[in-house]
Amino acid sequence: MSARASMVNTLALFSAAMLGLAGGAVWMVAAMYLRHPAPWLALPIGALLALTIRTSVRPAGAGAALLAAAATLLATFYVNMLIASVLVAGNMGIGLIDAMKTAGVGMLWQLTRLALSPADLVYAAIGMLLAAWLAWRQPRPRSSKLS
């Protein structure tokens, strides 16, 4: 593998990770508004991540599908860690950043694992499959004819 290909793959992985974190943050805003984790949001978040990765990061195919599925999984775990952080912050009466620093990654991860229900995991799996499928398939060409 050439240095250029390695750099392109590293940048694609980094971009997918950042998109996954951004998707989790958007999901968090919706969850806070709804006052519920809303695991079903894995489906539209996964679709948006797939379309963004397919159009901006990687061309449609296996690489885009893997990145989209991984970004959806990252968004799912990130939103659950954010929710755990908000709960810790609310219970301790401190700010979100202070709660994240105080609790640490280990405790937040354990709280996230404890809070995940089977429905959360099912929605995450379906969201990952949807993201992979959308990122795998080629976009339809637009017709220039007026019908």
pLDDT in tens, 76-109: 999 999 999 998 999 999 998 999 998 888 998 9
Q: Tell me the residue range of the domain where 47 lies.
A: 8-135
pLDDT at 139 over 80: no
pLDDT at 16 over 60: yes
* Residue 143: inside a domain: no
CA 105/CA 107 separation, integer angstroms: 6
> What is the count of structural domains for the chain?
1
- Calculate mean pLDDT across residues 46-70: 94
Q: Which residues contact 1 (CB under 8 A, 6 or more apart)?
A: none
* Residue 25: inside a domain: yes
* Residue 141: inside a domain: no
- pTM, two decimals, is 0.88
* Residue 144: inside a domain: no
* Residue 23: inside a domain: yes
Instruction: Give the chain's mean pLDDT.
Output: 92
CA 84/CA 109 separation, integer angstroms: 9
- Calculate mean pLDDT across residues 133-144: 82
* Residue 91: inside a domain: yes
